[in-house]
Amino acid sequence: MAAAGKFNRSNPAVKRILQEVKEMQSNPSPDFMALPLEEDIFEWQFAILGPRDSEFEGGIYHGRIQLPSDYPFKPPSFMLLTPSGRFEIQKKICLSISNYHPEHWQPSWSVRTALVALIAFMPTNPGGALGSLDYKKEDKRALAIKSRETPPKFGSPERQSVIDEIHEQMLSKAPPIPQLLTIGSEEETNKTAPDTSGEHAVKAAEGVNTSGSSSGSANNTDLPNPESESEVAENIARAQSDVIPRDSGPRVVTAPQNPVVTIQKPKHDRLLTLAAFGLTLAIMALVIKKFFKINGLAGYIEGKF
């Protein structure tokens, strides 16, 4: 950067940002491009390509990143500038990698890591998160086609110059827009696509300082390994899904019912019972016979028995 010399290179945030700029220039990505402003390296302009095999494929989506003065120990804020049907434009969006959720941010993450994660968030269910939209698939596809025509207009001439430069570079490597999906294939995609949403609305955060100053207690942090960025993005997506629990109501716990146990008696037990019953009848007969005999009814008894 031509203007890098005017910044305090001993400042940990400035040192980290300049490292990331150098790394991005030496290892460009085919899926995104990001550049800081010459006058304020804490503000970046970026563009991402819509994720493949989605209604965003082939689209070019511009946005703005604002890094905090104590970066990378605090997360950046994100704003989309290109209409996509997924995020509102010129409004800070709520993601687990943004300043709305500093509890999820890790200093080892970078602008590159955040952009990889942002691409992964594009086709997910918005879930009513702050700054999110949920247009129909055909409307998102139409916006993807339109996004290639001209870059968005935003901010000062310096910002617009960076936006135009990024758009030209991204357009040169963007794949063509796939043909519109049929209704049947869209329904099948809706059935098989996993729900990895988890973004949620929170109270709007205060604006961050863009003066380039930094806390003197911050320490320098090594850049993340580019080879592990896909894994990091997956971890971020999992953290995003943990932001809002999906339970729609209280869990009802029912007490286990005691089973009715029927014990079948063995066969020999039944025989003993019958024998005892017969013996009881015989004893009762002898008692009755003796009773009648004592009372002078012996002849009657002997004639009858």
Active site residues: 94
- For 125, half-sphere exposure in the C-beta direction (CA atoms, 13 angstrom radius) is 11
What DSSP designation does 92 have?
Answer: B
Q: Report in angstroms the alpha-carbon separations of 1 from 16, 21, 22, 44, 201.
A: 14, 8, 9, 13, 37
Tokens, residue 237: 């997506």
C-alpha span between 242 and 249 (Å, rounded)? 17
Determine the straight-line distance between the first and last CA of the chain, rounded to whole angstroms.
Answer: 129
Q: Is 46 helix (H, G, I), strand (E, B) or coil?
A: strand
Strands in 60-66's sheet, in edge-to-edge order, are 32-36, 43-49, 60-66, 77-80
Strand (E) or helix (H) holding 60: strand 60-66
220 and 73 in contact (C-beta within 8 Å)? no
The CB density around residue 251, as the number of other CB atoms within 10 Å, is: 5
On whether the CB atoms of residues 199 and 121 are closer than 8 A, the answer is yes
CA distances from 105 to 82, 97, 101, 114 (A): 25, 6, 7, 10
Mapping DSSP to helix (H, G, I), strand (E, B) and coil, where does residue 253 land?
coil
284: left (phi over 0), alpha (psi -120 to 50) or beta: alpha
Alpha carbon distances (Å) from 66 to 4, 148, 212, 266: 17, 24, 11, 83
